[in-house]
Structure 1
């Protein structure tokens, strides 16, 4: 099946969205590394591009963006069609290529999570272990960002300490956002691309349903909204 797909790809790619990020390519780099592979027949050229893209994704520590992959294939090559063929080829394997954090990454299939856990083998890119409270604070930041530490404390009905924020920052899950317009202009916090990558999300739209967390008593959307309104009124009075 893949042979037929490869035969068809060269004609399809002319009409597909072309890869981005090539305008700034250095002429010397183009000379040293053959992206176009014009000397190869179309089917072999497509196959080589597939292997290059898979190699880059496999070797990378973080999700690989379209712009990065465009550096190793021809200027008219469709990254999306290459990824489609790679994912089809990996059907039946215990791992796959998935869209994560604005790029693509090799991931083990969830069906084999128990086997991997039982092996006790060190894994690549494992998410930092968080306490239950740190996890719920991280979730709140994900839903309500940009958000201040005071607003987080209001949500949970108790202080969210600087140590908790520091732990999430050290894990690479959050970063400082814009300063809040509230009195004192405190820093807000936002999630990072590493947050998306570590939890296997492509965008923040992949966050779990917030209503389920509210029903479980873990988050209060109303609390943060009340805090924001109170801060806004206080700011106007100033």
Structure 2
């Protein structure tokens, strides 16, 4: 039943959403674990992104299903920087984003990230003015093939990949090691 629910779902589902569709007493988490194991090494895999589950094409076969014309919405440099700050430092306020980036964040930048579904407003801080915070979403994790924020590359990984060899990048960058929220 869990397999059928996930195949028919138009978007990834949480274990709680799956449980709502099952008879009382069923354990969707155990079923999800069994399904994940049974689909290992096949053309389709069951993946977890944050708290949601979905079937995806196996990484080694994705090239077979890629279209020649892919319409992608490019993020501006400000959008990429803002997304990185939210991913590595979230939950984070607009003011904190501006402090880390060193420039003002335009309203449109955060709006675009929210519209794309990669960032959402989080809880308000219990400080004067009660500023809103921003956090990444399960859609962000799904888009980048991450199970949790802890899977984000750390500073050492970025250096090893050559991303921090650029002289225009400030060194050291204030990138903490990701934590699982």
- Report the TM-score, using the length of structure 2 for normalisation: 0.71
2:3 is matched with 54
Deviation at 1:211, TM superposition (A): 4.7
In structure 2, relative to structure 1, the CA distance for the partners of 1:127 and 1:112 (3 Å cut) is farther
Structure 1 residues not aligned, in runs of 5+: 1-51, 223-238
**Separation in structure 1 between the aligned mates of residue 43 and residue 69 of structure 2, nearest angstrom:** 16
Question: SS of the counterpart of 2:46?
Answer: strand
Q: Distance in 2 between matches of 1:178 and 1:70?
A: 26
Pairwise CA distance, 1:182:
6.0
Tell me the C-alpha RMSD between the 2 structures. 3.3
| Corresponding residue SS for 2:56 | strand
Counterpart in the other structure of 2:16: 67
Determine if contact 1:149/1:188 at 8 Å carries over to the other structure: yes
Residues 143, 92 of structure 1: CA spacing in aligned structure 2 closer, same or farther, 3 A cutoff? closer
Q: TM (normalized to structure 1)?
A: 0.56
**1:76-95 correspondence runs (5 A):** 76-95=25-44
2:89 aligned with 1:144, yes or no? yes
Equivalenced residues, count:
167
- Counterpart for residue 194 of structure 1: 139
Larger radius of gyration: 1
Kept in 1, the 8 Å contact 2:52–2:138? The answer is no
Spell out the pairing of 1:168-183 with structure 2 (5 A cutoff): 168-180=113-125
Match of 2:152 in 1: 207
Which structure dedicates a bigger proportion of its chain to helix?
1
